[in-house]
Amino acid sequence: MNLRVVLVEPRYEGNVGAVARSMKNFGFSDLFLVRPCDIGPFGMAMAAHAKDILESAVRVDRLEDALAGANLVVGTTGKRLGKDHHHLRLHLRVPYLTPSELAERLSDKDGTVALLLGREDWGLTNDELMICDVLVSIPTSDEYPVMNLSHAATVILYELGQVDSKLEVRLADREMLERIFERTDHLLRIINYPEHKIRYVVLMLRRIFGRAELTEREANTLLGVIKKAIWKVEGEEDQAVAPD
């Protein structure tokens, strides 16, 4: 497993340096920064002996660029939603894994996993959470559930650093998964599925497939089934409108 740590719009250089230090503590080095703050002497000081990770970090303007080539996208959230956020609770933030559960799931997997950590003040946006395959949340106290960025990263990196892979099950690549979601969206539209529900159905499937950690063969088979269904429906529609 290759872990790619992605910090989305970090505001404080000290946190960025501290995350780099934690990455080196647990054996990770692949850091992407999406529209980050400036990293100056204080950030470098916080990185301590992980300055090389900061210096080699990839800076990008778009989250999509940071996710390119990833087989699995893991989003982090510390927000707990109440009953008045019904749709968000159902689709965006639950169910989620604890860091130890995530590590266990990845213990026999081969591929690139992108771990997204959001802004210090409000984390990842709903749109960013929607493109994540899996969500991870640290089981903190309900009285104060949201952790400091670098502290949360340290807890998750510790658990992932304990993974000792014995098997190598190759995960499906991101392009294949996105084709599945695009084809599913198309299929739902041609069977006249309620328009306002399509987005959430596709998101739910993304969560299901993310937790299932599809292999290349599984994803390719599933895509083939969806394509066949589309051809069948569209073929019947063509026959229905064809002149006698």
Tens digit of each residue's pLDDT (9 = 90 or more) over 119-157? 999 899 989 998 999 999 999 998 888 899 999 999 999
* Residue 9 confidence (pLDDT) above 80: yes
Which of 59-68, 76-85, 234-243 is predicted most confidently?
A: 59-68
Q: Any idea where the domains of the chain sit in the sequence?
A: 2-170, 174-241
Instruction: Over range 1-30, report the average pLDDT.
Output: 96
pLDDT bracket for residue 183 (50, 70, 90): very high
* Residue 87 confidence (pLDDT) above 60: no
Burial (CB < 10 A; 0-12, 13-18, 19+), residue 13, is buried
- Among candidate residues 93, 101, 96, the one with its CA nearest the CA of residue 128: 93
pLDDT bracket for residue 24 (50, 70, 90): very high
Percent of the chain with pLDDT over 70: 88
Instruction: Over range 64-72, report the average pLDDT.
Output: 94
- Among candidate residues 114, 5, 116, 120, the one with its CA nearest the CA of residue 56: 5
Count of residues making up the chain: 244
Tens digit of each residue's pLDDT (9 = 90 or more) over 193-225? 999 899 889 988 888 888 888 888 899 999 999
Distance from C-alpha of 222 to C-alpha of 198, rounded to nearest angstrom: 19
* Residue 244 confidence (pLDDT) above 80: no
pTM: 0.78
**The predicted structure's pLDDT at residue 238:** 62
**The predicted structure's pLDDT at residue 74:** 96
Distance from C-alpha of 226 to C-alpha of 176, rounded to nearest angstrom: 13
Q: Alpha-carbon torsion 127, 130, 133, 138, what sign?
A: positive
Distance from C-alpha of 120 to C-alpha of 95, rounded to nearest angstrom: 23
**The predicted structure's pLDDT at residue 91:** 54
* Residue 30 confidence (pLDDT) above 80: yes
2-170 adopts what CATH topology?
Alpha/beta knot (3.40.1280)
